[in-house]
Copies of this chain bind each other. A is one copy, B any other.
């Protein structure tokens, strides 16, 4: 984990309300892993006050560049859309734990929804370079929210939309279930997206008795484990776990799904 003041390289729309921001990555800084995140400051002043967390969507050591994909939602993300190449970019990174490798013999099924697409793209690209490449399933409400421009040819990708306006019609978890059945594989699930999608993914994993990993979200204060602000309820001795330290990636069976 480091405090890095780097610069923006590129900031471009990739789907409706979604942007990809690439930043220079200093050689001394630790390399981000899929599932890890950064927190960034949008302004020098007191509004917006807190740093905002975003998962890495890619990292390229050769290009010395890392990227995130973000959705314009409120004040901070709106300010982010105005960032231009060479603007300074103040981040804490890399934070959190990242996704584990799939267990041997397991077929990685990567399920992404909404702002969860970033880390899944990153993980999919990584796995594509290993002997155990995954299937990436990206779900969106409708066609315009699909980030077509950032998709990689080296990753087996399935697009789906709730309204059927592009790709297959259905939720990403439903499509995953179909794919797994069709392939007849022993899957390992990786999920990032809205809470309901993660819960559905966990239910699918239980159904299939498969390992599954979910990247959780929670409003953050410090993002370094100090404030106890970002917790989620987990089974076991401690009632809560910190998303920024024990997570953001959790074995879905440790989470108390309510």
Residues of A within 8 A of B (CB): 45-47, 75
Residues of B within 8 A of A46 (CB): 47
Of the A-B pairs whose beta carbons lie under 8 Å apart in the complex, a sample of 4, sorted by A's number, is: A45-B47, A45-B75, A46-B47, A47-B47
Secondary structure type dominating chain A contacts:
loop
| C-alpha spacing A27/B156, complex, angstroms | 62
Q: Measured between C-beta atoms, what is the minimum distance from A87 to chain B in Å? A: 13
Copies assembled: 2
How many angstroms from the CA of A45 to the CA of B78 in the assembled complex?
13
Instruction: Please give me the residue from chain B that is nearest to A47 by CB atom.
Output: B47
Minimum CB–CB distance from A76 to chain B (whole Å) comes to: 11
Q: How far is the CB of A246 from chain B (nearest CB, A)?
A: 35
Which residue of B has the minimal Cβ distance to A48? B45
For the complex, what is the distance from the CA of A47 to the CA of B43, rounded to whole Å? 11
A79 CB, min distance to chain B CBs, angstroms: 10
CB nearest to A49 among chain B residues: B47
Residues of B within 8 A of A75 (CB): 45
Rounded to whole Å, the gap between the CB of A40 and the closest CB of chain B is 18
* Shortest distance between the CB of A67 and any CB in chain B (Å): 27
Q: Least Cβ distance of A240 to chain B in Å?
A: 33
A166 CB to nearest B CB, Å: 35
Please give me the residue from chain B that is nearest to A43 by CB atom.
B47
CA–CA, A45 and B47, complex, Å = 8
Contacts of A45 in B (CB 8 A): 47, 75
Contacts of A47 in B (CB 8 A): 45-47
- Give the complex CA separation of A194 and B192 in angstroms: 60
* Nearest CB of B to A152, in Å: 38
In the A-B complex, the 3 residue pairs with the smallest Cβ-Cβ separation, listed nearest first, are A47-B47, A45-B47, A46-B47
Shortest beta-carbon distance from A84 to chain B in Å:
13
- Distance in angstroms from A74 CB to nearest chain B CB is 11
Q: Which residue of B lies closest to A79 (CB)?
A: B45
Minimum CB–CB distance from A88 to chain B (whole Å) comes to 16
Question: From residue A17, how far is it (CB to closest CB) to chain B in Å?
Answer: 19
